C-alpha cells in the first residue's frame, strides 16, 4: 500500500494510485483528481463534476466492496488523458452486493447524472467504475 502523495506512476497523461479503501483516502484523492484534471484543461465546472462522481465511486468501494472488514482493502484509481477525453477508473477487489442499504443508494444515480460516460463492471474478482469527459489537449 502506498500513501496518495506517492503515485505509482504520474506521467503527463496518466496518474495511477493504489490506496487503502478508507474514507480519508477517498476524500483526499478527490482533490488530487480534480487538480490533475484542471491541469490537463478540463473546465472548472466539469472538474467539479469529476470530483463528485469519482468521490461517489470511491465511497462505494469504502462502503460496499469489502463487507468482511479485512485490513488489506484497496482501491486502484487511474486517471488518463488522451484521444480528446479524460478518463477515470475506480477499481476494487471486493464483491458486488445487490440490495439497498439504509445509509446508501444514491451513489450510482449521481455518477450517471454528472459523468457524460459511466459504466460499472462487476466480476467475482472486483468492480470497476469507468468515467469519461470530453477534454481537448491542453
Any idea which fold 9-134 has? Heat Shock Protein 90 (3.30.565)
Q: Please tell me the pTM assigned to this model.
A: 0.84
Does 8 have pLDDT greater than 60? no
Q: What is the pLDDT of residue 29?
A: 95
* Per-residue pLDDT tens digits for 87-118: 999 999 987 665 555 555 788 899 999 999 99
Residue with cell 488489506: 72
- Beta strand 126-134 with 85-92 is antiparallel
Quote the cell numbers at residue 118: 459511466
Supply the DSSP symbol for 94.
S
Residue 10 vs residue 60, higher pLDDT: 60
For 104, residues 6+ apart whose C-beta sits below 8 A from its C-beta are 60, 63, 64
Amino acid at each position: 500500500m502506498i500513501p496518495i502523495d506517492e503515485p505509482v506512476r504520474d506521467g503527463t497523461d496518466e496518474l495511477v494510485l493504489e490506496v487503502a479503501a478508507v474514507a480519508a483516502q477517498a476524500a483526499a484523492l478527490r482533490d488530487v483528481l480534480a487538480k490533475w484534471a484542471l491541469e490537463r484543461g478540463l473546465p472548472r465546472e466539469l472538474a467539479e463534476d469529476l470530483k463528485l462522481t469519482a468521490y461517489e465511486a470511491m465511497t462505494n468501494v469504502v462502503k460496499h466492496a469489502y463487507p468482511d472488514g479485512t485490513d488489506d482493502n484497496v482501491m486502484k484509481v487511474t486517471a488518463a488523458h488522451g484521444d480528446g477525453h479524460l478518463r477515470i477508473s475506480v477499481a476494487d477487489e471486493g464483491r458486488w452486493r445487490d440490495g439497498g442499504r439504509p445509509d446508501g443508494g444514491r451513489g450510482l444515480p449521481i455518477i450517471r447524472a454528472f459523468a457524460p460516460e459511466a459504466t460499472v463492471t462487476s466480476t467475482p474478482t472486483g468492480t470497476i467504475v469507468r468515467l469519461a469527459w470530453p477534454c481537448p489537449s491542453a
